[in-house]
Amino acid sequence: MEVCGTHTMSVFRHGLRSLLPETVDLIAGPGCPVCVTSASHIDSFISIVRQKGVRVATFGDLYRVPGFEGSLAQASACGGRVDIVYSPVDALQKAKDNPSELVVFLGIGFETTVPGVAATIQEAARNKVDNFAVFSTHKLMPPALEALFSDFSLRIDGLLCPGHVSAIIGVSAYEHLADNYSLPCVVTGFEPADILQGIIMLARQKRCCRSIVENAYPRVVTWEGNKNALEMLDSVFQVCDTSWRGFGVIPASGLAIRPEFDLYNAEKRLNIVSKEVDEPTGCRCGSILKGICTPPDCPLFAGRCTPLNPVGPCMVSSEGSCAAYYRYGTVREGKIMDHELQNG
Ligand code: SF4
């Protein structure tokens, strides 16, 4: 399983699947931050957009992701104020530029993204920017993997661990997975050679019946991770339960803003209570994120659900499996192949 959506995209973009022997299959995992954002959180985001005097700042990937109540794009079309930003710092600037409005940054993403959000909240506090807040739905990767592999019916032989998350949390964060679930783990970068090297290292472990954590990305990732980034994260956020699309609520898998920073906590400031809602009818994103099925197994794939008219988040996100299969994959003899190599 390649945990990360960036890996999935890179695998397809570079035609790596068609280089692999029949005995090696790659399954996408739960590492696309947009895809794992639950429909209930999307609905909460939309409820914020509908409030008077509030404007929402979000990464572009989230804009068209459907919840039960529609998407941010639809809420914006109905008159809501939604700004696409490239970083939380841009959102803070929006707050400085619009002092009469509350600017709410929608915090999604894993350990990679959170230190930057924490630094922005600290910056807002230092400069007394009171009209800025964050709705944190940030998530931690190891608890989700733990939840995934506690299900012993899942037949995964090894894990390509995400390079960018690992740059923050370190290689050591996966040791318990290798030990407790006899799961070979290799931290891998995103270039084609990085991914192929990771697959070879996993295959070697499998052949020797070993299950340890190895690092195929030492130019970026260390054993202990980025201490400064982890301290920054810890200074503003604390661990909480949170809901994941497809998984439901996973204990201790999310990050909430610490009470000292309540002024910057949009959920508290606006009294937002997220309610669990149903996934879009027929959409199998939840099962895809758990590696139970692949996009072509979804009856809506490439029919009712396309990148122009997405039904679920995995078709919207630039890291989503359904988008990757749609853009780069072709079904041939029951297997997904890659356009580039088939076409020479
Ligand atoms: Fe959901 Fe569309 Fe993917 Fe089906 S093809 S799982 S509806 S995103």
pLDDT higher than 80, residue 140:
yes
pLDDT of residue 342: 42
The pLDDT-based confidence of 320 (bands split at 50, 70, 90) is very high
For the chain, strand residue ranges (E) read 2-4, 28-31, 54-58, 82-84, 102-107, 132-136, 159-162, 185-188, 213-215, 237-244, 248-257, 329-332, 335-338
Higher pLDDT, 244 or 154: 244
State the Cα angle at 250 between 252 and 294, rounded to 5°.
Answer: 135
pLDDT band at 55 (very low <50, low <70, confident <90, very high): very high
Residue range 276-285: mean pLDDT, rounded: 86
Structure confidence by residue, pLDDT tens digits, 101-124: 999 999 999 999 999 999 999 999
- Cβ-proximal residues to 122 (8 Å cutoff; 6+ apart), any chain: 232, 235, 236
- In degrees, rounded to 5, the angle at the alpha carbon of residue 158 between the alpha carbons of residues 157 and 159 is 145
Please check the confidence at residue 37 and state whether its pLDDT lies above 80. yes
Buried/exposed code over 183-221 (b: 16+ C-beta within 10 A; e: otherwise): bbbbbbbbeeebbbbbbebbbebeeeeebebbbbbeeeb
| Ligand 1 proximity of 305 Cβ (cutoff 6 Å) | yes
3-state secondary structure at position 42: helix
Give the residue among 112, 162, 187, 141 at the shortest CA–CA distance from 9: 162
pLDDT tier at 150, thresholds 50, 70, 90: confident
Residue for token digits 């472990």? 205
Ligand 1 atom closest to Cα of residue 284: 6
Alpha-carbon gap, residue 11 to 2, rounded angstroms: 9
Structure-model confidence comparison of residues 97 and 333, the more confident one: 97
Q: Which atom of ligand 1 sits closest to the CA of residue 315?
A: 8
CA–centroid distance, residue 293 to ligand 1 (Å): 11
Residue 333, pLDDT above cutoff 70: no
How much of the chain exceeds pLDDT 90, in percent?
A: 83
| Residue 55 DSSP one-character state | E
pLDDT-based confidence at residue 336 (cuts at 50, 70, 90):
low
Question: Ligand 1 pocket: which of 322, 325, 326, 336 to mutate (most atoms <8 Å of CB)?
Answer: 322
pLDDT above 60: residue 269: yes
Instruction: Note the pLDDT of residue 23.
Output: 92
Which of 288, 289, 327 has most ligand 1 atoms within 8 Å of its beta carbon, as the pocket-test mutant? 288
pLDDT for 330 equals: 64
Confidence band, pLDDT 50/70/90 cuts, at residue 276? confident
Residue 337's pLDDT band, with cuts at 50, 70 and 90, is low
Give the number of other CB atoms < 10 A from CB of residue 49: 21
Residue 335: pLDDT over 80: no
- Residue 108: exposure state from Cβ atoms within 10 A (0-12, 13-18, ≥19): buried
Query: Is 60 exceeded by the pLDDT of residue 238?
Result: yes
CB distance 283 to ligand 1 below 6 Å: yes
Residue 344 has pLDDT above 90, yes or no: no
Q: Does 311 contact ligand 1 (Cβ within 6 A)? A: yes
339 has a pLDDT exceeding 90: no
- Which residues contact residue 30 at a Cβ distance below 8 angstroms, ignoring those fewer than 6 apart? 3, 36, 144, 145, 148, 244, 246, 247, 289, 290
- What pLDDT sits at residue 113? 96
The mean pLDDT of 144-167, rounded to a whole number, is: 90
How would you list the strands of the sheet with 54-58, edge to edge?
A: 82-84, 54-58, 102-107, 132-136
The pLDDT of residue 278 is: 80
- In whole numbers, what is the pLDDT of the chain averaged over residues? 92
Please tell me the distance from the alpha carbon of residue 134 to that of residue 59, in angstroms, as a whole number.
13
* CA–CA separation, 249 and 270 (whole Å): 22
Q: What is the pLDDT of residue 331?
A: 52
Measured at the alpha carbon of residue 253, what is the angle toward residues 318 and 54, in degrees to the nearest 5?
Answer: 65
Instruction: Name the region of 280 (left: φ>0; alpha: ψ -120 to 50; beta: rest).
Output: beta
Residue range 182-218, pLDDT digits in tens: 999 999 999 999 999 999 999 999 999 999 999 999 9
Q: Which amino acid is at 189?
A: G
**Which of 60-64, 127-131, 257-261 comes out lowest in average pLDDT?**
60-64
Task: Give SS3 for 136.
Answer: strand
